[in-house]
Each structure stands twice: as structure tokens, then as C-alpha cells.
């Protein structure tokens, strides 16, 4: 497990973003009694997967995903879930300063020692990028000595070529079950992935690159900031 933290703030735009990249790490912290707040910006109401045959309607989807999100948080042990009410697929069009203000308010209220979000420019989806930008901007406006640790999830194809290997690799073997339950909770979106994972196991896939072995993060590099002026 990683070093002890006073309070963790996790910021992602979509329900299920937490499941793949950090649910194991968060489950470890939750077990250690570390308070975790998860600010989930949207309800993923534009999720592509309505099932085939459809298991729901576009109107009902936010309700389903909200329940899945709550179930995932329960599986992980997150007690403070904030649903921030932005609209899925439009986070990138939110006013930048309002987004930064939202993050600043959360930081002021919670005084986290660690924030986990995506890594700007390596987060693939426009909503992920907008979220990452807002978090980084909010943190770098703080005096350096007051800044919490900032871990970014990066999974763009050029990540390792440009950022190198992640500086934080966390062994999550002891919380595989919690991670599986978090992913299972988002069954409307993750069903196909879990099936694939089963297949991999049957085919005797090695533990390498397995979601259930470890989770990787990059400490945010303020000295190589994603934008020049701010
Ligand atoms: Zn996402």
C-alpha cells in the first residue's frame, strides 16, 4: 500500500472511471480508515451502452448509472460520494473558470493530502481532459507548500513514450475482490470487459498487465506543466 494520507479527494467525470484505474488503491485506503471523497462530475447519461436488446431507455440511464455508482462506492468503501451534476459529454464545454472554482471549493472544504484524477494530455476522452485541466489549475494556484500530492492516471498510447514509466506502482492483490465488485457494480458499462477478463483467465493469461495486480499513477509534474501560461 502507498503512504498514509489524511484525506483523499478523487475527481473523475464519469461513473466507472474510478473502477478501472483506482478502485483497488482506494479500497486499501478505505480499509486503513482514510477518509475518501469522490467527486463524480456527471452521471454518464450519454453512455453508449443501452444494451442489445436495450435494458433501459436514454431517460432512465442516469438513474441506473447513479445506482451503479453508489454500489461501486460501497464496494470500495467510499463514504463521501459527491455527484456534481454536470452533463456527460459536455464537460469540455463547461466554463474553465467555473470548473476550477468547483475544484478549489472542494479542496478548501476537504483539505486533502492527496488528489487523484486524470493526467492532462494523456487522458484520451475530452471529458477526462477537461476534468484533469481543472484539477491541475486549481492545485497549481495554491502556494507550493500548501499543495496536496497530485496523482494522475494516464493511458493514452503515447504515455510511456513521453512520460516514461509511472513513478507509482501499487500492488493491489490484497483487494482484488473489492476491485472486481466495483467493476461489477457498473455492469451496464463494464459487462463486456468482465467477460473478456474471464476469457483471458481461461486462456491462461499471465498476471502481467492485469487490472487486478497493480494500479499505476504519475505524480503530476508542475515543472513540466501542460500549459505555459496561467
Ligand atoms: Zn470516463
Q: Where along the chain do its domains lie?
A: 8-220
Comparing 26 with 227, which gets the higher pLDDT? Answer: 26
- Ligand 1 centroid vs 44 CA: distance in angstroms? 8
Considering the chain, what is the average pLDDT of its residues?
A: 90
- Ligand 1 centroid vs 125 CA: distance in angstroms? 7
DSSP state of 12: E
Phi and psi for 84 in degrees, rounded to 5? -85, -10
> What percent of the chain has a predicted confidence (pLDDT) above 70?
92
Give the predicted TM-score (pTM) of the model. Answer: 0.91
Which CATH number is 8-220's, of 3.40.50.10320, 3.40.50.300, 3.20.19.10, 3.20.20.120?
3.40.50.10320
Provide the pLDDT confidence category of residue 208 given band limits of 50, 70 and 90: very low
Contact at 8 Å (CB) between 40 and 186? Answer: no
- Ligand 1 centroid vs 223 CA: distance in angstroms? 27
- Residue 53: predicted pLDDT: 61
Alpha carbon distance 226, 224 (integer Å): 7
- Ligand 1 centroid vs 28 CA: distance in angstroms? 22
- Ligand 1 centroid vs 15 CA: distance in angstroms? 7
Provide the pLDDT confidence category of residue 187 given band limits of 50, 70 and 90: confident
- Ligand 1 centroid vs 145 CA: distance in angstroms? 31
DSSP state of 48: S
- Residue 52: predicted pLDDT: 59
Amino acid at each position: 500500500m502507498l503512504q498514509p494520507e489524511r484525506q483523499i479527494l478523487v475527481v473523475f467525470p464519469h461513473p466507472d472511471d474510478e473502477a478501472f484505474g483506482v478502485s483497488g488503491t482506494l479500497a486499501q485506503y478505505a480499509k486503513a480508515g482514510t477518509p475518501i471523497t469522490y467527486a463524480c462530475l456527471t452521471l454518464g447519461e450519454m453512455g453508449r451502452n443501452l444494451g442489445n436488446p436495450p435494458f433501459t431507455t436514454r431517460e432512465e440511464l442516469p438513474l441506473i448509472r447513479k445506482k451503479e455508482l453508489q454500489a461501486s462506492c460501497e464496494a470500495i468503501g467510499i463514504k463521501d460520494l459527491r455527484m456534481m451534476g454536470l452533463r456527460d459529454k459536455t464537460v469540455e464545454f463547461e466554463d474553465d473558470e467555473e470548473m476550477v472554482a468547483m475544484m478549489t471549493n472542494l479542496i478548501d472544504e476537504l483539505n486533502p493530502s492527496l488528489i487523484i484524477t486524470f493526467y492532462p494530455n494523456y487522458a484520451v476522452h475530452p471529458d477526462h481532459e477537461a476534468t484533469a485541466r481543472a484539477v491541475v489549475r486549481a492545485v497549481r494556484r495554491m502556494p507550493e507548500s500548501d499543495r496536496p500530492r497530485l496523482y494522475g492516471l494516464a493511458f493514452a498510447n503515447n504515455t510511456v513514450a513521453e512520460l516514461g514509466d509511472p513513478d507509482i506502482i501499487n500492488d493491489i492483490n490484497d483487494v482484488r475482490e473489492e476491485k472486481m465488485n466495483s467493476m461489477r457494480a457498473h455492469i451496464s458499462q463494464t459487462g463486456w470487459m468482465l467477460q473478456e477478463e474471464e476469457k483471458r483467465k481461461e486462456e491462461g493469461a499471465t498476471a502481467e498487465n492485469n487490472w487486478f495486480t497493480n494500479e499505476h499513477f504519475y505524480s503530476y509534474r508542475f515543472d513540466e506543466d501542460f500549459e505555459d501560461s496561467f
